[in-house]
Structure 1
Amino acid sequence: MTFIKTTEQDSNYNHLEKMSIAESLKNINTEDKSVPLAVEKALPQIEKLVEQIVYKLQSGGRLFYLGAGTSGRLGILDASECPPTFGVSHDLVIGIIAGGDIAIRKAVEFAEDSTNLGWEDLQEYKVNENDIVVGIAASGTTPYVIAALEACNRNNIITGCVTCNKNSPLSKTAQFPIEAIVGPEFVTGSSRMKAGTAQKLILNMITTTTMIQLGHVKGNKMVDMQLSNNKLVERGIKMIMQEINVSNKEAENLLKKHKSVRVAIQNFKDGNK
């Protein structure tokens, strides 16, 4: 089947510079509405990858996100939010970007074109067959990502990917590909827009579903979250109040004592107030 890079096709709109602010916003919003529908079509693919991730993490492995540019930044964002949200180690979900941490803020020229650096970056973390590596690339053609996944395949490391083009080289490389086909961008080729939004939605789904399966959510609450600011402490107090029907003050004292929503609730139920 022929590979067509829909993310690079001409926008459905022209003469953007002649549009009013209201017209631009309306048209961007119209395009954005198509993104969740594209993600919905990819749900069976997402499910297959999440099943593999859950299995690997339950067995003591780690999840790696690997990408360049916007894709790399989205992977780092999703990985960085797992510890505060679910109370897991920073070493459980790891985001890697082509060009290193400096590339999080500033583009590193030609970093994504390297066919060696991706695997080298993974080796710094001693990646092994207990882990799982997910390449992220809207185009599905990023050499940094593809070459790293090829090396993973050779080393018996399970691979997945998130891309926004059908039948891309990356999709053919990954053992568990996810393809969210969002079509042309409002600004031609600006894949930080619809493609980036689709990737963000999918990454949210991957880690949230995984963490639920790993037991880090109780009911619908983030009982293992880190109490790293006043807002989260207040949220924790409310969780305790709702779960065990105590006053605000009692819940606050329990949280101060046990330093964890889950532990506070469990100790109360066990009679260890």
Structure 2
Amino acid sequence: MAHELPGWVADLTDPRRARTLDELADRLVPLAEHAIDVSRRLQAQLNELNEPFKREALYGSVERLKARTGEALEEITGELTASGERRIERLWSDWAGRTRPSGRAREPELRRLLDREVVPALSERHREVAERVAERTSRALEESTRTLLTRVEELARAVNALVQDVLPLAREGLELAGRVSALSGSARRAGRGPVPAELADSAAEVTRAFDEAVARLELEWAAVGARAATVRAALRGAEENAFSQVAEEMTRSVEDLAPEHVKALNEAEERARALLEEPTKG
């Protein structure tokens, strides 16, 4: 919705309505300042748009992907180890429930027996499974990293084209500010009194140019801002998609290796029960 300002605003600010040289000079100054401000804001926005594509930012994206993958692998390794520990602790609970109090005095001895006869083999199977998961994850990480960098490179080319198209507008605003400042200086040097026709024509021309240029700059500033938000979202999406690819491969590898892991747990449990059975009978 358009909002009209009171009529006296233009009377006191529009250089075309200036009646004296002093008024003309004073009214031109805010125009130059505005042109400089919007040009600098647009340049800053273009610089911000380019920031994610610098070498340091790209390195950070890859490192974040590697770090998240490493954390996920640690969780898988920890769960593999925990699953074995839970099986052993369940055996102890079952053994304690079936053993008379007098027989529980041998628990330290039996724990050492399991630590020697069962735990090492189970740990070795866990390690083998974890290494195979890590190997498949490493291949997925390499592939997803290539995809991520390819997408970032494509986006960087598009952003660079945008910057090259818009940057001249920012420079145009600064050049216009120079013209306005020069005209203001001419008005001050002309002395006092009414505005000469030549200066009035120059003021009208530069004011029209200011209105058109600043309107374009403000519109472009808003458009670049919206595009910058889209670019940031796209970069976040590319990172998330890259990690999702790695996570999916980790999930598949765990699912593929689950039968072997369960078999190892069952074998360890059978071996542990056999070691605990003889003392229990006694």
The bucket for the TM-score relative to the shorter chain is under 0.3
Name the TM-score, length of structure 1 as normaliser: 0.25
- Please tell me whether Structure 1 or Structure 2 has the larger radius of gyration of its CA atoms: 2
Higher helix share: 2
Relative CO higher for 1 or 2, CA cutoff 8 Å, sep ≥ 6?
2
